[in-house]
Structures are given as C-alpha cells and as structure tokens.
Structure 1
Amino acid sequence: MPRGKLKKVFPGGNTYMGFYSFYDFIIEPDATRIFIVKGGPGVGKSTFMRKIGEAMLERGFDVEFHCCSSDNESLDGVVIPKIRVAIIDGTAPHIVDPKNPGAVDEIIHLGDYWDEGKVRASKEEVLQDNQRISRLYRIAYSALKEAKVIRDEWESYVTESMLWPRVYQAKAELLEAIFAGVRSRYNQPARERHLFATALTPRGLVTGNLETLLQDGQRLYTVAGDPGSGVPGILATVARVANEKGLNTEVYHCPFDPNNIDMVIIPEIQAAVMNWQPPHAIDLQAMPNLQVAMALDLNRFIDREHLNLYGNEIASAVVRYQAALDRAIAHIREAKITHDHMEGYYIPAMNFEAIDYKREEILQRILGYAAEVLGQA
C-alpha cells in the first residue's frame, strides 16, 4: 500500500494581535471523532499525536500535521480527513474543550500517567518558569505591535504611489483567468477553511510547508508587490469570488497580520493563488505537475518618481520594522528555551510506557472508525 500524503499547516500563530487561533477550522464539529489531549509540558502530547499520524500515513491515509507556532518541531494536532478524525492539543494557549462530549469529543489526559509527587516537588520552579514564559510572550507581542505601526507607515508610502486604475484592471484580468469557464453554483454553499501556511517561530519565519499544500494543484497564479501595493486585497477578492461561485477554499493567512491573506487554494479547480514576495517562493522544479499560469507583479504599477520622494522614510521604516520583528522573535525563542527547561521537571515524572499503551489503544480505535466509515462509503 502506498504511503499517504502529508500536509503541514499551522492552526495558530504569533501575530501582532497576539496569539491568533484558527483552531475552529482544524476539523468540523460533527466529525467522526475528536480526541483532545491534555497535559503539561514534556508529557509527550506531540509525540503521542505524531506517532499516530505516522502510523496512519503508513497505512495509506492522507494526514495533516498541524504544527505549533511556538515550536515548529512540535504538533498542535493531527487530522485524518478521509475518516474525519482529529487529535488536538487542548492546552494553553489554544485551550480546547469538548463541544459535543461523548458524541464526538473526548479528553485524553496524559496527566493520568505522571507521578504527582515528583511534579509537586518542582512546584516553585514550574510556577517561576510559567510566569517567565508569559512575560516573554507579552514582550514579544508588544514588539510585534510596534512592528505593525512601522509597517503601516511603510505601506502608506507605497499605497500613495500606486496607479490604482491599472491595478484594478490587472486584478480583473487575473480573476478572468482563474475562473474562466467556472459556472456559479448558487444552490451549493461553499466552505472556507482558514489556517496559516507559515508562522513566526523561535527559528524565525518558517515557510517549509508550502509544497505540501500545493502537491495536488495544477495551476498556480502568483501575485507579487511591495507592502502597500495591494497584494492581500487581491487575494481576498479571489477568496470572495470563489465563495460566491460555490467553490470550497483553503485560505491561508499572513503570520504577522492575520487580517491579510497570503494564499488561496481552490481544490475543485486545482488552482492556487499566492503572495509571491519573499519568503513565500517555492521550488517549482520539485513540483512538475504545478505550472505557473499567470504571474502578476504589482510593482509595475508604482509611480516611482512619486515613491522616490519618500526614499529616506522607507529606508528607515524597513530597518525599524526588521529590528522590531527580530526583537519579537528573540523573545519567542527565549520563551521556547524556558519552556524546554520546564519540561525537565515533568519528563522524569512520566510513565511513558503506559502512554505508549494508551497510544496503541487510540490507534486501534481510529482504525476501527476507519473501517466503519469506509465500510459505509
């Protein structure tokens, strides 16, 4: 049996608005089963989920790994779309509780497998580390808010210099190219799924997941342009038009500003539209089935003479923006180091052998759900 396809996304992100969650879009509330994993740092939640995901991949099921923005090597969730089963980390900052207890959702508490006495012996250290982590994230989010103010200034110079009638004409041509021959289905409500494809992590801006999202696509439309040139607005229009035509969409948001969109995937017509500014580029040579159908560069519509009036201001904004962003990432990185330190108090207290037995039990139950669902198909 061929191995299933793996997709990697981020369900939450460290943004200028603080921690921003798209957890409600991990899976539908009427799923076959949702397992919510609870427990402290170092108890093995991510490993628990990853090993079940790997086991399902080996059995030929497509699997989604929902990565953690605060530690992109860890997982916040695993989804097996074909059988509509998910395993989700339900601890802070993305607190998840059952919405349909028993009928759909259930809690797996890995705290049942720790030695309480050993954990309590480190109570003061755990409280101190948790306090420091919270403080570090507050500082990081403050720096991201500062970066947003600076970026708004930077964008304003470009926006003022755009030849907007030409931008609107180019947008109309892009929409015509994407949706040519697609008939609107007004009697069929479309579904939108909102997630992040990239994230601000302790390692900086991580974008290594884009190829997994585009592996089934055939047509790629790229939109490039400096901040303020209108790229997010065009992507938002693509998502809106697709929705109006009754097409399901996957909408991937900007990791810095979740109000902006970086990519729209329309699976039914095997098309994707994405922000082509660095660091969003992908290795097209590694994806021979995906062809660039149209490349739109909004920088062609900038009045350079007018923009040059603000050359010094833009140069200053770029430096200040990057400095604020770097400062935020440094504090997120320090929070990760502190979190890893706190894990050291939990790991020695865990009965990982018992957790392995529990994981195998859950895997067998998931395989049972798969047999039921596929038997009904």
Structure 2
Amino acid sequence: MEKTALTWLLGANSARGFHSLYEGFPPEGAFLRVIKGGPGTGKSSFMRRIAAAAEAAGLGVEYIICSGDPDSLDAVYIPELKTAYADGTSPHVLEPAVFGADGDYLELGRYCSRAAARAASGELRRLSAEYKAQYARAYSLLAAAAEVSPAASGCYAPEEARAAVRSRAANLASRELGGLHAAPGAVHRRFLGGLTCRGRVLLGDTLASLCERLYLLDNRLGLGFEFAGELARQAVRRRCEAVICPFWLRPELTEAVIFPELRLGFAVIDPLAEYPERHRCLHLDRMAGAEALRDVRAALREDEKLSERLMFRAGQHLAAAKALHDGLEAVLRPALDTGALSRAAAEEISRLGL
C-alpha cells in the first residue's frame, strides 16, 4: 500500500458503541508517535501538515479519518519511513508497546494556556457532558437498527442459502487466490465506511484505487456478509495479502475483502452508499430462491425502512455531537498558541527529512 495516498477508518460507531481496530496499527516494526491534547489543540492539523509534506516528497501516506467527523484526521502512517502518528485520546486511547523502542508521545496540550482553559471549566464540562449524551443516544439507536436490519441480522436468509453462498465463495477463492502461499502475506483490518456526523460514509475512492476488478455483493438478506466472511477466512487460511474490512454496524461481520496484489476486491452492497462506477455484481439473493423472497418481501421492506430510519436518527445525534465538539474547540482555541504549534509541526517535518 505504498507510493499512494489511501484513506481508511480504524474506528466505527457500532451497535455496541465505539469499536476500535487500532490494536493492529501501525504494522510491526513501525514507530508510533502518540499525540495527546484536548479538543481544539491542533492534533488533526498537525498530522495533516506532516502527511502533506510526505506526499510532496513523493511518499505514500495512509490517512485514518475520524469515525465521528470524516473531515478530521485520527492518524496517518508513512510506510516508507515506517512512522505513524495517531491521536491517542479517548475513545481510542493508545500507548506505545515499548516506550522509546516502538513509540513515544507528542504533547500538543502544552501549547494551550492552562489558565485560560481553567477559566472556562464550567462551559467545558457542560459541553463535554452533552456531547457524551448525544453519543449514548446514537449508540442505542444503532443497537436497535442492527436488530431490525435484515442484512445485519440475517433473519430472513435460509441456512441452505447461507451454506450455498459460503461454498461459492470458497470455490471463487480456489480460482482467484490459488493454494497455500509459501510466505504469509500481511493481513490488515480496516473499516471501509461508517456512520458519521455527515451520515453514511463509504470510502469509494479507496476501493477504486486498490481494485481494478470490483465485485459488489447482494446483501438484502445478509448473504453478502456470508460471502465476504468466507472469503476473509479463505484469505487467512491461504496466507494471502489482504485487507479485511469489518462491517461498521456489526464488526463481527465482514463488509469487504480486498486483495491489493491482485487488484481485486469484494464489497457488500449498502443502499445508502455510493460505489465506484466500474464494478460487477454477484446476485447472491437469488440463491435463496424466488419463493423464499416472495414469502418475506413485505416484511423485508418494512424492516429495511425501519432500520434505515433508526440509522438516520442516530446520524442526527452524531451531527449534534459534532456541533458540541465544535463548541469545545471554540472555547479552547483562543487559549492555543498557534505559532508555537506551527513551529512544532515544522520541526517534526524537518526531523523526518521532509
């Protein structure tokens, strides 16, 4: 995944709350600089400046966007420098595995006036409490959406169809992936999308960048998840290089599997998302049989609409949380020494030789 700019998520707003994939970031052997600092202390801007300098130098960059606000960065990784930067504050608290050997800290909070922040402590506490309450409400709605969703629950898919889909995925893996690879390929786990303050986000540009061949999987009955899950198991068993993308709402399910070396990808169809124009479809729902679909069509549509409405309402609460977070930043921003922060970013870029 080098020599290009790719965008992913490592966190998701799921039916069980915030779900993190940061335990696999960055890859083994890379050095992680954990950034600490509160809202409005410039963590995202700091990382964006470093990433821009790396790209300007012709290096590949992996951008990790925020699960709550896709316009904000939570992490960046520069593979050729084996160096990563990540926001190590809640909800994705991070620590170097071995301080000094695997990583260290960058404290951006030191550029924020403590006296000015303390003077606004009452407002900061009020905004923080309201912000957390909005997330709690969003997560309760997402839990309900996951229970109702025919795709996420798989409640309308006959077991015979599930087994047939898994068999089809295994046969495809034999054809496309070959036998057991002599050396194990790297397996990365990334979210390809999620629900944010801007609604449903799917990283279509990332799919387009990595996949010359892209297959979209029917998923009204959840059979796309069955197919993608089996494909992920086959990739691991055959020791292939792969990017496995858990489903943001229920991360135990698989939303997509990408094989960078083969320029090949498979992703379930989400009716609320937009996909690259160049793709083919695997019509997995047909494997349930026309009669089975006909018998549940009315209930299926009703449950789909209800689930989408619940997710829409959850998104409204995430948008409200974003507005409150903006309020926190607005309170703290005047206390920030932006000149010192800018100089710190320039020094870090120079240290990297960029």
By the TM > 0.5 criterion, same fold? yes
Match of 2:211? 217
Task: Name the structure 2 match of 1:16.
Answer: 15
Is 1:233 matched up with 2:229?
Answer: no
Task: Give the C-alpha shift of residue 238 in structure 1.
Answer: 1.3
Asked if 1:97 corresponds to 2:92, the answer is: no
Give yes or no for contact 2:41–2:108 (8 Å, CA) kept in 1.
yes
Q: Is the 8 A contact 1:161 1:304 kept in 2?
A: no
**1:217 and 1:272 in contact (8 A); partners too:** yes
Please list, as runs of the form range in 1=range in 2, the aligned pairs for 1:229-268 lying within 5 A after superposition.
230-268=223-261
Please give the residue correspondences for 1:98-177 in structure 2 after superposition, counting only pairs within 5 Å.
98-151=96-149, 155-156=153-154, 158-160=156-158, 163=161, 166-168=164-166, 170-177=168-175
Give the TM-score, by structure 1 length: 0.87
1:271-297 CA distance string (max 9 Å, x none): 222224434553345xxxxxx5x6421
- Hey, what's the Cα distance between the residues in 2 that align with 1:239 and 1:153? 18
Match for residue 185 of structure 1 among 168, 181, 188? 181
**Cα distance change on mapping 1:216 and 1:140 into 2, 3 Å:** closer
> In percent, how many aligned pairs have the same letter?
27
Distance 1:44 1:164 in 2: 48
CA contact (8 A) 1:247 1:268 kept: no
**Equivalent-residue separation in structure 2 for 1:149 and 1:121 (angstroms):** 45
CA distance in 2, matches of 1:174, 1:74: 38
Aligned to 1:321: 307
CA distance 1:58–1:234, shift in 2 (3 Å)? same
* Equivalent position of 2:60 in the other structure: 62
Root mean square deviation, CA, Å: 2.3
Tell me the residue number matched to 2:353.
367
Distance (Å, rounded) in 2 between the aligned partners of 1:152 and 1:92: 32
- In structure 2, relative to structure 1, the CA distance for the partners of 1:277 and 1:178 (3 Å cut) is farther
Separation in structure 1 between the aligned mates of residue 135 and residue 166 of structure 2, nearest angstrom: 40
**Closer, same or farther in 2 for the Cα pair 1:94/1:74, shift >3 Å?**
same
Aligned mates of 2:129, 2:227 — CA distance in 1: 42
The alpha-carbon distance between structure 1 residues 194 and 71, as it changes in their structure 2 partners (threshold 3 A), is: same
1:299 to 285, 309, 316: 285
Contact 1:153 1:317 in 2 (8 A): no
Q: Which amino acid aligns with 1:196?
A: F
Deviation by residue 1:96-150 (Cα, 9 ceiling, x = unmatched): 1222111231111111111111110100110111111111111111111111111
Amino acid at match of 1:352: T
- Is 1:356 aligned to 2:352, yes or no? no
CA separation of 1:283 and 1:47: change in aligned 2, threshold 3 A: same
- 2: CA distance, partners of 1:194 / 1:168: 21
Equivalent position of 1:373 in the other structure: none
- Which amino acid in the other structure matches residue 365 of structure 1? R
Closer, same or farther in 2 for the Cα pair 1:172/1:243, shift >3 Å? Answer: closer
Listed one character per residue, the Cα deviations across residues 320-342 of structure 1 (whole Å, up to 9, x for unaligned) are 21221112111111111001011
Between the aligned partners of 2:143 and 2:187, the Cα distance in structure 1 is 28
Contact 1:223 1:276 in 2 (8 A): yes
The whole-number CA distance in structure 1 between the counterparts of 2:114 and 2:237 is: 54
For residue 218 of structure 1, report the CA deviation from its aligned partner.
3.2
Q: Secondary structure at the match of 2:106?
A: strand
Shift of 1:243: 1.8
Gaps of 5+ in 1: 286-291, 369-377
Instruction: Give the whole-Å Cα distance in 1 for the aligned partners of 2:227 and 2:157.
Output: 14
1:281 and 1:223 map into 2 onto residues whose CA distance is 14
Pair 1:168–1:348, CA change in 2 (3 A): closer
- Tell me which moved more, 234-243 or 211-220: 211-220
Find the counterpart in structure 2 of residue 30 from structure 1. 29
| Other-structure match for 2:195 | 200
State the Cα distance separating 1:249 from its structure 2 match: 1.2
| Distance of 1:276 and 1:151 partners within structure 2 | 14
Q: TM-score, normalised by structure 2?
A: 0.92
Separation of aligned partners in 2, 1:192 and 1:4: 19
SS in 1 for 2:220: coil
1:36-76 deviation line (CA, Å, top 9, x unaligned): 11111011110000011011101100101100011110000
Contact 1:235 1:263 in 2 (8 A): yes
Aligned positions, number: 353
Unaligned runs of 5+ in 2: none
How far apart are the structure 1 equivalents of 2:277 and 2:309? 31
